[in-house]
Chains A and B, each alone.
Chain A
Amino acid sequence: ETGVTQTPRHLVMGMTNKKSLKCEQHLGHNAMYWYKQSAKKPLELMFVYSLEERVENNSVPSRFSPECPNSSHLFLHLHTLQPEDSALYLCASSQGPGVSRPGELFFGEGSRLTVL
């Protein structure tokens, strides 16, 4: 139990569906992240929110839409995805900017997405 919870753990969707991934952190952190993990590739940073403000959008297609309503919750809204978007989507949190030990990310267990 890392203190970061992701739902659903598994999701299968068609290319015309709309779905959302949810992440919740119970660590009192100020920053939250979405990463994409595909086979045999490094973890790819998608979005970063710090104090509920988006500070990074790593050239992610608009069919992925993040939402951060407060510092404990993060969503990734999905619509009209492609089969190549199938991957493990990982949420992470960290203390945020201006801390003494930057970069220490705490990951959730991931949401395994399959796009048919």
Chain B
Amino acid sequence: GQQLNQSPQSMFIQEGEDVSMNCTSSSIFNTWLWYKQDPGEGPVLLIALYKAGELTSNGRLTAQFGITRKDSFLNISASIPSDVGIYFCAGGGTDKLIFGTGTRLQVFP
């Protein structure tokens, strides 16, 4: 079945640093989405991408839909303590989403 490889699995960074994470797949997707999950909460949609090559920003977050449609990255600039959480990528086909295993981000002051 379709699988997503999300990396890194975890990151420990200092406040103010930039962060980059990515997802790759052997399959082509029509949609790439990035979610964040805070402890004890459900995932919340951060950015949705619908076109190959699309680059979209949401505040300090920037995500891109890879030109091959098999990958996507998420960048967070100037990290702050509330960026802590688990970030999930999700690739969408015609009818379902496949989720990555998540990147756990820790930010130290």
Question: Which residue numbers of A lie inside 8 Å of B, CB to CB?
Answer: 2, 4, 6, 40-43, 45, 48, 56, 90, 92, 97, 101-110
Contacts and interface: CB of A to CB of B under 8 A. Distances in A.
Contact of A108 (B42, B88, B96): B42
A103 B35 CA distance: 12
A78 to B, nearest CB: 19
Interface size class of B (residues with CB under 8 A): 20 to 34
Contacts of B98: 42
A95 B100 CA distance: 22
Interface stretch (B12-20, B43-51, B65-73, B77-85): B43-51
Contact of A103 (B41, B43, B48, B88): B48
B109 interface: no
B101 A104 contact: no
Contacts of B92: 102-103
